[in-house]
A = this chain, B = another copy of it.
Amino acid sequence: MKDFTFYNPARIIFGKNSLDMLGDNMHHLGKRVLLHYGMASIKKHGIYEDVMNRLNALNIEVYELGGVKANPEFDLVAQGIKMCKEHAIEGILAVGGGSVIDSAKGIAAGVLYAGNIEEAYVDNLNIDDALPIGCVLTIPAAGSESSASSVVSVNNATLKRSIKGTCLIPRFAIINPAYFVSLRSDQAAAGISDIFAHLLERYFTNTEHVDYTDRLLEATMRTIIHYGPYVVNHLDDIDAWSEIGFAGTLAHNGLLGSGREEDWASHRIEHELTALYHIPHGAGLAIVFPAWMKHVYPENKDRFVQFAQRVFDVDYATHEVDKIIEEGISRYERFLKSMFLPTRLHEAGILNDDSDIMIERMYYKRSESFGNFKKLYAEDVYKIFKYAK
């Protein structure tokens, strides 16, 4: 186990009546608030109205900025920063999924940032100060509701890059699993794939003596394996969504990576798929992660055996190590396919080979390798794209 500090002061307000707690928490955001949201869905499902009624009852001055798209773009962040400065806005309430919350974080940081916040994203900088953020979560997936990071498409939407900092952790996150029943099955599946990937990025480590966090990660993965394919087929089951929702938050609040070197190579590779082809992040991860596994597993077979055994119940016999590992990866792919996700590029309609473009962008203004489980140089990523074909 590595030395670590875990600090996450987000208030997780969870449950069917959690929006009733909004009023008690708005003081964290001040009296002049930017309400940030996505497209039409929060209006269609009555969430917008429920939120506005509560804000109006508190006499909060609300400025609205809607229109966040999946894979949020910097243009809207820039617009939000301008609005906040013009109206001396004190805090931001994000109502939506990870894209909306990530966009809100970009605005919150940008308002107080001395330099150019778009460049901070390009350079993946740590940020020290931001306006306070609160959120009402409508999609369990990204974990942004209690994470310390934000991912936004920058550089004319050619790069998906991130900023990090404790100041980006929302002061409160209202998580009402009843909101999740209005998701489509493909949105649900992509979200579940994203949650699972957040666990895998932490699980695949070469750090030794991390048994307790191994078990917590396995417990979370098994919960997702149990409930993920189920909710995709039973979108109205609030109890099942509650399990997914809480697991999704803990998957990415930092706790489960405590004391471990994390990987994050698959996320970096996937960001290029999303930037180029505009496929959902969770679908991209369903393609990249199995391919990454096939390329890197010889690096630490013991860990892949443990994954196969403890997460996917593959039987163990010492003379069959490679078979056990292959079966583990294959069961992960079957889990993804059972939610109708693509696990190969062509299944997502991607038939061109754009490896060159994506690999160039992936390393743009960055060091010659990335990832920790195995350091990936450009030639490794080419191989991973081959497995993904």
Q: Is A5 an interface residue (CB 8 A)?
A: yes
Contact digits for A190-234, partner B, Cβ 8 Å, 1 yes 0 no: 000000000000000000110111011011101100110000000
Q: Is A371 an interface residue (CB 8 A)?
A: no
Which of B5, B12, B209, B226 interacts with A5 by CB under 8 Å? B12
Which of B3, B9, B246 interacts with A258 by CB under 8 Å? B246
Across the interface, do B242 and A226 meet the contact criterion of CB distance under 8 Å? no
Cα–Cα, bound, A4→B1 (Å) = 31
A8 neighbours in B (Cβ, 8 Å): 8-9
Which of B14, B17, B212, B227 interacts with A220 by CB under 8 Å? B212
Shortest beta-carbon distance, A141 to chain B, in Å? Answer: 16
Q: Is A361 an interface residue (CB 8 A)?
A: no
Q: Is A2 an interface residue (CB 8 A)?
A: yes
Across the interface, do A5 and B1 meet the contact criterion of CB distance under 8 Å? no
Q: Is A6 an interface residue (CB 8 A)?
A: yes
Q: Is A11 an interface residue (CB 8 A)?
A: yes
Given contacts A21-B5, A216-B219, contact A226 B211 (CB under 8 A): yes
Across the interface, do A17 and B3 meet the contact criterion of CB distance under 8 Å? yes
Cα–Cα, bound, A204→B247 (Å) = 20
Which of B6, B9, B13 interacts with A14 by CB under 8 Å? B6
A211 neighbours in B (Cβ, 8 Å): 223, 226-227, 243
Cα–Cα, bound, A247→B247 (Å) = 18
Contact digits for A1-37, partner B, Cβ 8 Å, 1 yes 0 no: 1111111111111111110010000000000000000
Across the interface, do A14 and B21 meet the contact criterion of CB distance under 8 Å? no
Q: Is A66 an interface residue (CB 8 A)?
A: no
Given contacts A5-B11, A6-B12, A7-B11, contact A243 B212 (CB under 8 A): yes
Cα–Cα, bound, A65→B222 (Å) = 48
Across the interface, do A220 and B209 meet the contact criterion of CB distance under 8 Å? no
- Nearest chain-B residue to A1 (Cβ)? B242
A9 neighbours in B (Cβ, 8 Å): 7-9
Cα–Cα, bound, A250→B222 (Å) = 20
Q: Is A313 an interface residue (CB 8 A)?
A: no
Q: Is A322 an interface residue (CB 8 A)?
A: no
Across the interface, do B14 and A259 meet the contact criterion of CB distance under 8 Å? yes
A242 neighbours in B (Cβ, 8 Å): 1, 209, 259
Q: Is A239 an interface residue (CB 8 A)?
A: yes
Across the interface, do A18 and B6 meet the contact criterion of CB distance under 8 Å? no
A259 neighbours in B (Cβ, 8 Å): 14-15, 242, 246
Which of B14, B209, B243, B246 interacts with A239 by CB under 8 Å? B209
A3 neighbours in B (Cβ, 8 Å): 14-18
Cα–Cα, bound, A243→B207 (Å) = 13
- Nearest chain-B residue to A25 (Cβ)? B5
Cα–Cα, bound, A250→B219 (Å) = 15
Shortest beta-carbon distance, A3 to chain B, in Å? Answer: 3
A–B Cβ pairs within 8 angstroms, 22 of them: A1-B15, A1-B246, A3-B15, A3-B18, A4-B12, A4-B15, A5-B21, A6-B14, A7-B9, A8-B8, A12-B258, A15-B259, A209-B243, A211-B223, A211-B227, A212-B246, A213-B246, A215-B219, A215-B222, A216-B220, A219-B219, A246-B258
- List residues of chain A with CB under 8 Å of any chain B CB: 1-18, 21, 208-209, 211-213, 215-216, 218-220, 222-223, 226-227, 239, 242-243, 246-247, 250, 255, 258-259
